[in-house]
Homo-oligomer: A and B are copies of this chain.
Amino acid sequence: MRAARHTLGVTESEKKARYSLCGLPLARYARGARSSVGDKGAATELAYALSAAPQFDAAFRATFAELLAWRRDVRHFRTEEAPDEATLAELFHLAAFAPSVGNCQPTRFVRVDDEARRASIRANFEAANHEALGAYGGERAALYARLKLAGLSDAPIQLAVFCDEATEQGHGLGVRTMAETRRYSTVCALHTFWLSARARGLGVGWVSILDPGVIAEALDVPRAWTFIAYLCVGFAREEHLIPELERAGWQAREAHPVVRR
């Protein structure tokens, strides 16, 4: 491992940056300092965390590779148990560490609990899925019809994820020529949520077979919020290393081309 050192002292703006540390379960605290953190408070945490950047070792990297490999897009959830509120709060907290352009933090999570609203989302999916099926023919159509593409009926937690295109946070930095980068920031946040969930034994499924135009209205959110994804969250009924679409013979995973210029 290379040595990585934090070379600047604690600045005033760093001291004010409470969000970045409060509630964060930093590994170093687990390794000996845990008992004293609560007493000394956030300032001590801050000074401690700033003393040196962490160095990630081979064992961590190997386990992180397993997390990536076993993540899965889950469509089969256990209905008899749900993630607890503390875990969900931790996932939302961690998602805020995702990169966001200009630090604009444009992600808006909408937790959908109301049965009528959930039914509206299911109906939206059923209609879009029916249309999609109609676009395939022959074997492909038969295969598509057999796929289970959403866990909308059994996922205990359902999240519609939006990007607030009108946020003033970030003061427009980085989005003048590429406004879509705000939406990409939201994708990073939901991907962080997803990986963090899997690390807690939770599965996430991303539903995109939806007419996005009517979702903001169905969920009564501001017009400036762009719908990005609908996430089903819960305990997966089975764990797999191989993606469901690959096991079903729809599409195997391929490497990404890397070209040189």
Contact = CB atoms under 8 A, between A and B. Distances in A.
Given A49-B241, A239-B6, A251 B104 contact: yes
A53 interface: yes
A259 B111 contact: yes
Interface in A95-144: 95-99, 101-105, 107-114, 117, 128, 131-132, 135-136, 140, 144
Contact of A2 (B102, B201, B208): B201
Interface residues of A, number: 137
B111 A97 contact: no
Given A61-B200, A188-B191, A220-B261, A103 B173 contact: no
Contact of A209 (B176, B241, B257): B176
B20 A69 contact: yes
A69 to B, nearest CB: 5
B98 A242 contact: no
A242 to B, nearest CB: 5
Query: How many copies of this chain sit in the oligomeric assembly?
Result: 2
Contacts of A199: 56, 60-61, 64
A109 B259 contact: yes
B171 A13 contact: no
A257 B169 CA distance: 13
Contacts of A21: 69, 241
Contacts of A235: 2
Contacts of A39: none
B71 A114 contact: no
Given A177-B210, A247-B11, A65 B27 contact: yes
6 shortest interchain CB distances as A-B pairs: A53-B239, A27-B62, A103-B251, A68-B97, A187-B187, A181-B208
Given A2-B201, A24-B65, A103-B250, 5 more contacts: A8-B238, A54-B70, A61-B199, A177-B211, A178-B209
